[in-house]
């Protein structure tokens, strides 16, 4: 059963889309297991740039792509993505789990209204309706794709829209009004359009693995945004960590062979919440500009800082990582002396782990490393760049399988394949 979960080890935006796309060249299936249209995965090949929010990143390689039950799907965004890739001559080759929940326009309005009502306690949500869709799921009145296929949704959609209207008026006290009949018509339209894509993702993946085909489980966001194990409440509404692949697809943990953690060569974060190594100076600004650190979905500038290896150790433990893919190493070129956080000072002692509660009070303990003006020496990494990679491996006791040295698919050093 050759399979690998590919997860973000930081706060998302680590470059998972490129890593999934690269590994998918030798895979048969790519399965997205959580999140929604708040994800932004960018894939760059020689002749195109593809930005995806819902369709798994393996679509450019022509492989079968699936959206699992753990994903909340904005069908209007998904249809737009399908139209865009098919206009470029790319087959969607997509299956959507009938158990996946649907994000409708009233979820987006609730998300935006909730965020505005928080005043000083804002989360930094993308306002794409993800949290409210998961809330409906947990309250057991969400709408699933299977119900669209069976035309069993109209009464519940009308009820949900009316509940949202009462909430806008009585609780949030905002001037918003949802037309229930408009929501019903949207469901009719998207149901007709997406009907051919809906199927049993759990059964399809199980069959693929039993027959020896290669499967990638693709996570969105990152470990530190996990609803249970991240910097709560400044987190996403699902489980991006490796365990989420099991529940989000419908497979057992014994069906996973490897867990590859994607780690940016420095740290970034979007939205609010603690960030121990954040830089508020010209170095942080240079990382932002050189790395193109602006959100794929929102365009928001990302907060930037030095690489935090305490975070990577934590991600190793939470996900059971077996290896790393290091991205954006090229962005550090020409920066001069580099710093890497190897521990924290917290409560009068030095710790080499993450205290999720109280992270804002942690002081980074840095190790200084030589920088480089040229990333490569011939066809290999230069001495300083190679030493940077080796230090990461030593500190977190994990091998680095892949090193990304630029945005394009072929700008990747493969030291060991996840399929070997």
User: What residues act catalytically?
Assistant: 13, 41
- Rounded Cα–Cα distance for residues 22 and 404 (Å): 10
- Could you tell me the two tokens for 267? 């740290």
Return the residue matching tokens 């939205």: 271
**DSSP single-letter state for residue 289:** H
Question: Helix %, strand %, coil % for the chain, to 5?
Answer: 40, 20, 40
369: buried, middle or exposed (CB in 10 Å: 19+, 13-18, 0-12)? Answer: middle
SS3 state of residue 151: coil
Cis peptide before 281 (omega within 30 of 0): no
- Cα 150 vs. chain centroid, distance in angstroms? 31
Residue spans of beta strands (DSSP E) within 213-316:
215-218, 258-264, 267-269, 303-305, 307-308
Which helix (H) or strand (E) covers residue 17, if one does? helix 16-24
103 near 128, Cβ under 8 Å? yes
The pairing of strands 267-269 and 72-73 is unpaired
User: What are the helix and strand counts (H, E) for the chain?
Assistant: 12, 22
SS3 state of residue 248: helix
SS3 state of residue 16: helix
Return the residue matching tokens 């693709």: 218
- Could you tell me the two tokens for 71? 């994903």
Question: CA nearest 81: which of 103, 44, 61, 55?
Answer: 55
Question: CA nearest 360: which of 273, 270, 239, 262?
Answer: 273
Q: Distance of CA 382 to CAs 330, 370, 372, 379, 395, Å? A: 12, 11, 8, 9, 20
Query: Which phi-psi region, left, alpha or beta, contains residue 415 (left: φ > 0; alpha: ψ -120 to 50)?
Result: alpha
């Amino acid at each position: 059963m050759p399979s690998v979960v590919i997860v973000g080890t930081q706060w998302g935006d680590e470059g998972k889309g490129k890593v999934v796309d690269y590994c998918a060249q030798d895979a048969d299936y790519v399965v997205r297991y959580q999140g929604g249209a708040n994800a932004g995965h960018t894939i760059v090949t020689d002749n195109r740039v593809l930005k995806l929010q819902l369709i798994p990143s393996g679509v450019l390689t022509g492989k079968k792509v699936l959206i699992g039950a753990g994903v909340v799907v904005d069908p209007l965004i998904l249809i737009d993505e399908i139209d865009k890739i098919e206009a470029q001559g790319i087959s969607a080759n997509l299956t959507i789990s009938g158990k996946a929940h649907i994000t409708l326009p009233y979820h987006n309005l609730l998300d935006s209204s909730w965020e505005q009502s928080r005043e000083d306690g804002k989360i930094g949500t993308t306002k794409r309706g993800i949290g409210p869709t998961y809330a409906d799921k947990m309250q057991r009145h969400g709408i699933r794709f299977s119900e669209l296929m069976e035309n069993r949704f109209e009464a519940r959609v009308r009820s949900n829209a009316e509940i949202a209207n009462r909430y806008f008026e009585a609780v949030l006290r905002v001037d918003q009004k949802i037309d229930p009949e408009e929501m019903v018509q949207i469901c009719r339209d998207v149901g007709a359009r997406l009907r051919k894509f809906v199927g049993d993702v759990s059964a399809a993946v199980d069959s693929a693995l039993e027959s020896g085909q290669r499967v990638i489980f693709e996570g969105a966001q990152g470990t530190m945004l996990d609803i249970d194990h991240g910097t709560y409440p400044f987190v996403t509404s699902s489980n991006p960590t490796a365990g989420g692949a099991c529940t989000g697809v419908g497979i057992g943990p014994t069906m996973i062979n490897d867990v590859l953690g994607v780690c940016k060569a420095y740290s970034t974060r979007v939205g609010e919440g603690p960030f121990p190594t954040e830089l508020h100076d010209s170095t942080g600004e240079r990382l932002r500009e050189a790395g193109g650190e602006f959100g794929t979905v929102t365009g928001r500038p990302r907060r930037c800082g030095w690489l935090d290896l305490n975070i990577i150790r934590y991600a190793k433990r939470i996900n059971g990582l077996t290896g790393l893919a290091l991205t954006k190493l090229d962005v550090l070129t020409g920066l001069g002396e580099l710093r890497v956080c190897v521990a924290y000072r917290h409560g009068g002692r030095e710790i080499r782990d993450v205290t999720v509660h109280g992270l804002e009070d942690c002081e980074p303990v840095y190790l200084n490393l030589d920088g480089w003006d040229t990333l490569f020496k011939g066809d290999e990494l230069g001495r300083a760049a190679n030493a940077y990679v080796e230090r990461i491996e030593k500190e977190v006791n994990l091998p680095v399988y892949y090193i990304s040295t630029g945005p394009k698919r072929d700008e990747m050093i493969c030291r060991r394949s996840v399929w070997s």
